[in-house]
């Protein structure tokens, strides 16, 4: 029997073989293939090539990946172990710059590693602690997304039309997704939501991933090209927009997949509220505003040739291919986290959210 994508782990640890196991998202929706990774270069490539992608999933993959690598270091000397750990941590951190969850998860692994060293633990004990931290990060992701879903569901009503951009779905997290969490929870409650997925040029995460997972889940799904969102909003078919984020600055500016800020500007024009759904680990209070967020630029071929049978742009044409853009906080109606929904002014509500830390 064909397995539903929702029942397959996006990111997992194969305990027996000490391997990071991911769904290779570059093959979706045509082929569902799990790949098993144990080497630093393989894990780096998987993140860079978007075999595992979406900010929370990248963070979980990096945490499990760090454990997998550390479990293989052939030394009992703690200093030597930590040198190798630091080398691999920095290497994995260089795979993609925009999603803060990558460095957030790696820093968490580093902090527990350092605490073990301070405590004079053996290498074996450190590896065991790293294992537990990676598992905790993964479990927390499921819990955080579920709570994002509960908080997001309060913002919509049965029968609503929802528009989403890129894939902030189950495939971008361990389960539920962030932007899709209210949609999945709504489905559990019989909300009968109608979801519009932007196809999301140039890498088609909306078409290949979001439309796929929503449809497999039995949700009323309509795929549109990116340049059709104004039309569906003008027609009155969209009651709310849910998107994810890769990094949210302290003032509420949110970096997400390229094109998100266009959706936000159009949403303002048509009076549709735009909500950014993200775990608190995506909020980077050390980044003051969107101007300070590093935006990844990717290869020109993603725009000129990828997906086409033959190249669709003149040879030698200049190409600008930023993978993300920043939505100005003024265009965001709420930031939906596991801790609650932050409202403008974000410099105050986000500071309040992190006050106890
Ligand atoms: O380049 P990608 O596919 O990793 O970009 C993903 C996004 O922009 C998502 O919307 C974001 O990471 C949030 S995922 C819950």
Residues 6+ apart with CB under 8 A from 50: 25, 26, 203
Ligand 1 mean position, distance from CA 98 (Å): 10
H or E segment at 15? none
Superfamily of segment(s) 149-354: Translation initiation factor eif-2b; domain 2 (3.40.50.10470)
Give 198's DSSP letter. Answer: E
pLDDT-based confidence at residue 357 (cuts at 50, 70, 90): confident
Place of tokens 């950014």: 276
pLDDT at 299 over 70: yes
d(CA 277, CA 237): 21
In percent, the amount of the chain with pLDDT more than 90 equals 98
Mutate to test the pocket of ligand 1, among 24, 26, 54, 165 (most ligand atoms within 8 A of CB): 54
d(CA 25, CA 35): 10
Show which residues are catalytic.
246
44: exposed, middle or buried (Cβ count in 10 Å: 0-12, 13-18, 19+)? buried
pLDDT tens by residue, 218-237: 999 999 999 999 999 999 99
Place of tokens 């519009």: 196
Mutate to test the pocket of ligand 1, among 256, 262, 322 (most ligand atoms within 8 A of CB): 256
Q: What is the mean pLDDT of residues 63-83?
A: 98
pLDDT tens by residue, 26-65: 999 999 999 999 999 999 999 999 999 999 999 999 999 9
Output the pLDDT for position 82.
Answer: 98
Q: Are strands 161-164 and 240-243 parallel, antiparallel or unpaired?
A: parallel
Mutate to test the pocket of ligand 1, among 245, 322, 324 (most ligand atoms within 8 A of CB): 245
pLDDT tens by residue, 181-220: 999 999 999 999 999 999 999 999 999 999 999 999 999 9
Do residues 158 and 190 touch, judged by C-beta distance below 8 A?
A: yes
> Ligand 1, atom 15: nearest CA belongs to which residue?
168
Q: Rounded to whole angstroms, what are the CA distances from 201 to 115, 168, 307, 328?
A: 43, 15, 11, 21
d(CA 84, CA 114): 13
Using alpha carbons only, give the angle 122, 63, 97 rounded to the nearest 5 degrees: 130
d(CA 180, CA 333): 17
> Ligand 1, atom 6: nearest CA belongs to which residue?
54
- Lookup: tokens for 97: 């710059």
Output the pLDDT for position 156.
Answer: 98
d(CA 63, CA 281): 13
Output the pLDDT for position 51.
Answer: 98
Output the pLDDT for position 3.
Answer: 82
> Which is the closest atom of ligand 1 to the Cα of 324?
8
Which pTM does this prediction carry? 0.96
Ligand 1 mean position, distance from CA 57 (Å): 9
Ligand 1 mean position, distance from CA 356 (Å): 28
pLDDT at 348 over 90: yes
CA-wise closest residue to 295 among 332, 268, 258: 258
- Ligand 1, residues at Cβ distance < 6 Å: 50, 53-56, 99, 166, 168, 172-173, 177-178, 205, 244-246, 256-257, 323
The answer, yes or no, to whether the previous bond of 343 is cis (omega within 30 of 0) is no
Output the pLDDT for position 2.
Answer: 73
Handedness of CA 162, 166, 167, 168 (dihedral sign): negative
Place of tokens 């790696």: 106
d(CA 210, CA 27): 14
Output the pLDDT for position 1.
Answer: 66
> Which is the closest atom of ligand 1 to the Cα of 278?
15
pLDDT-based confidence at residue 239 (cuts at 50, 70, 90): very high
pLDDT tens by residue, 315-333: 999 999 999 999 999 999 9
Ligand 1 mean position, distance from CA 95 (Å): 14
Do residues 184 and 142 touch, judged by C-beta distance below 8 A?
A: no
> Which is the closest atom of ligand 1 to the Cα of 53?
4
> Which is the closest atom of ligand 1 to the Cα of 101?
12
Ligand 1 mean position, distance from CA 155 (Å): 22
Average pLDDT, the chain: 97
Number of residues assigned to the chain = 357
> Which is the closest atom of ligand 1 to the Cα of 209?
3
Extents of the domains making up the chain: 5-145, 149-354
May I ask the CATH architecture of the domain 5-145?
A: Up-down Bundle (1.20)
Ligand 1 mean position, distance from CA 81 (Å): 33
Which letter, b or e, does each residue of 235-271 get, where b requires 16 or more Cβ atoms within 10 Å of its Cβ? eebbbbbbbbbbbbbbbbbbbbbbbbbbbbebbeeee
pLDDT at 347 over 90: yes
């Amino acid at each position: 029997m064909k397995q539903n994508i929702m029942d397959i782990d996006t990111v997992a640890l194969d305990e027996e073989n000490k391997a990071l196991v991911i769904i290779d998202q570059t093959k979706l929706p045509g082929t569902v293939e799990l790949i098993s990774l144990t080497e630093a270069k393989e894990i780096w490539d998987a993140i860079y090539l978007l075999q595992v992608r979406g900010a929370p999933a990248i963070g979980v993959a990096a945490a499990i990946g760090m454990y997998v690598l550390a479990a293989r270091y052939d030394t009992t000397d703690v200093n030597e172990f930590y040198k190798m750990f630091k080398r691999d941590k920095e290497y994995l951190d260089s795979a993609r710059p925009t999603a803060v969850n990558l460095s957030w998860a790696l820093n968490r692994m580093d902090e527990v590693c350092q605490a073990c060293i301070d405590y004079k633990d053996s290498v074996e004990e450190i590896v065991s602690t790293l294992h537990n931290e990676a598992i905790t990060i993964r479990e927390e992701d499921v819990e955080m997304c579920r709570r994002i879903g509960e908080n997001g569901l309060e913002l919509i009503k049965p029968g609503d039309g929802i528009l989403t951009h890129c894939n902030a779905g189950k495939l971008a997290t361990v389960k539920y997704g962030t932007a899709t969490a209210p949609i999945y929870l709504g489905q559990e409650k019989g909300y009968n939501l109608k979801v519009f997925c932007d196809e999301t040029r140039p890498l088609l995460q909306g078409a290949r991933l979001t439309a796929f997972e929503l449809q497999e889940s039995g949700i009323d799904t309509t795929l549109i090209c990116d340049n059709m969102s104004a039309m569906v909003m003008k027609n009155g078919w969209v009651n709310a927009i849910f998107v994810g984020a890769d990094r949210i600055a302290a003032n509420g500016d949110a970096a997400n997949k390229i094109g998100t800020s266009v959706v936000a500007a159009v949403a303002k024009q048509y009076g549709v509220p735009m909500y950014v759904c993200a775990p608190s680990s995506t909020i980077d209070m050390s980044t003051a505003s969107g101007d300070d967020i590093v935006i990844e630029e990717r290869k020109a071929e993603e725009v000129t040739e990828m997906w086409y049978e033959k190249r669709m742009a003149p040879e030698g044409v200049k190409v600008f291919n930023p993978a993300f853009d920043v939505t100005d906080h003024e265009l965001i109606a709420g930031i939906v986290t596991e801790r609650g929904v932050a409202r403008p002014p974000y410099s105050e509500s986000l500071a309040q959210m992190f006050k106890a830390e």
